Structures are given as structure tokens and as C-alpha cells.
Amino acid sequence: MVKNATILILIGLIVYACATVPLTGRRQLAMVSNQEILPLADQQYEKVLDTSKISSNQQYVRMVKTVGANIQKAVEQFMAEKGMSEELAGFEWEFNVIDDPNTVNAWCMPGGKVAFYTGIMPICRDEAGVAVVMGHEVAHAIANHGRERMSQGLLANGLLGTVAGAMGQNPSLTQEVFMQAVGMGAQIGMLSFSRQHESEADRIGLIFMSIAGYDPHEAPKFWERMTQGSGGAAPPEWLSTHPSHSTRIKDLNKAMPEAMQYYEANK
């Protein structure tokens, strides 16, 4: 009887704690609030910057900050048009380049804290290439993928309630769940979930770069360059947290007509 009551409570909590992803309309789990997650993200971002070498390559820094400002403006415009500006409450945008030529990566913390690694810049090539990556990474934050992943992680580990409550219950596990939630951890059990987020961020990011005035056709071109750079050495899609490059290119081209409408309207 107690077990059945617990199950009903959990089902009720999950149904109640739901949100909607902008643009796609997908329903997502949202057991914790951005007000709880954003301070953790800010702390982690500062920790990364403090322990990393910031790039002195002014060309890279200028491109990332310029594109970042343009994408930020596009996001704010998009959210205002959708009547969802309140979703950006607590966002404190920041764009930095980390000097690490061996890391082909970029990410955006919840709250708009962005980092590019110098290893990805030659593949980006120019502002349009940076916009492809920037739009995608920012889309993760706007779609609240970190919040959704953390909600799922807390639920899976029996850490129900607020982040503060979970911290009091098991601080080390809660921290681990957070690191995985913002993409700084790895867990085989979340692979299909992560691929869903990556595909969703590709579509939303394509819209953001289009609103910002960057030709969305540059997105599949970027992934073609990424494919060439990897030399075909990427792992099988079922073992990757990301869709295969060929899948991304196909899906981006499928989403191109929608993106072009935004691009033409904002040229």
C-alpha cells in the first residue's frame, strides 16, 4: 500500500514538474528550477576559467565575442516574439576562448556562459562557422537541457525535491549529477537521451544563427569539415552521445526550409 502511494506521488510529481522546449514544443521534466541551477553553473564556469589558459589569439577572441553578441541578440528577439522572455531571467551572458589546441569542443552552461576551445576554431574557419557552433551550444541552454538532465538524474538516484535538499541528502552525488547534466560527465545510460538533446539543439541553433543573420547553409558545411577532420574515426552512433556527422548533416538539410524563412526575414 505504501509502495503504491509512493508510486502515485512520483507520477504526480513528474506530471506536475514539466516544462515545454521553445520552438519544438517537446514536454520535458523540470523538477528543479533555473534559479537553483544557475548559481551552480556560474560557480563551475568560473572554476573552469580559473584552471584554464585563456586564449591570447585576438582573432579567435574577437570572432567568438562578436558572434556571441549576435546570437544573444537573436535569442532575446526570438524569446520576446514567443512571449517567453521570462525564461531568460538570470542569464548573464559571457563568451570566452580557452587556449587548448587539442580540444575540439565548445559548450554553454545554463545561464549563457560560453566557452570555445582553440582546437575547434580552425574547423569553424570564420564567423559563420562560429555561429553554427555558438547557436547549437546556446540552444542547449535555451532548451533547458541541463535542467532536464539534472531533474532526470536526481529522480534516477532518489534525490527528490530541491537542489538544496539533494545537496543536504548527498552532496557528492548531487554534484556528480550536475556535472553530467551540463555535459561535463559521461554515462552510458543517458546516450539516447543525450542524442535527442543534440538533435534538438541542432534544429534550434539553426534558427538562432539564421535570426542573427548567418546563412544556415553553413551548418551542414561545418559538419562536413568536422567529418573530414575526424578522418572517419568517430565511434558508431549507438556508442556516441552525439548523432553521427552524416545524421546531423541530413537532419540539418531537412530543417533548412524553416531556417531559411527566419534568415530571409532577418537579413
Selected catalytic residue, list 127, 137, 148, 200: 137
**Strand locations in 39-168 (E):** 94-98, 106-109, 113-117
Of 107, 121, 66, the residue nearest 197 (C-alpha): 107
Cross-strand bridge partners of residue 113 = 94, 109
For 219: left if phi > 0, alpha if psi spans -120 to 50, otherwise beta; the answer is alpha
Q: Is residue 46 flagged as an active site residue?
A: no
Helix H or strand E segment including 35: helix 34-50
**Contacts (Cβ under 8 Å, ≥6 apart) of 151:** 17, 29, 30, 31, 32
Cβ(101)–Cβ(119) below 8 Å? yes
List active site positions: 137
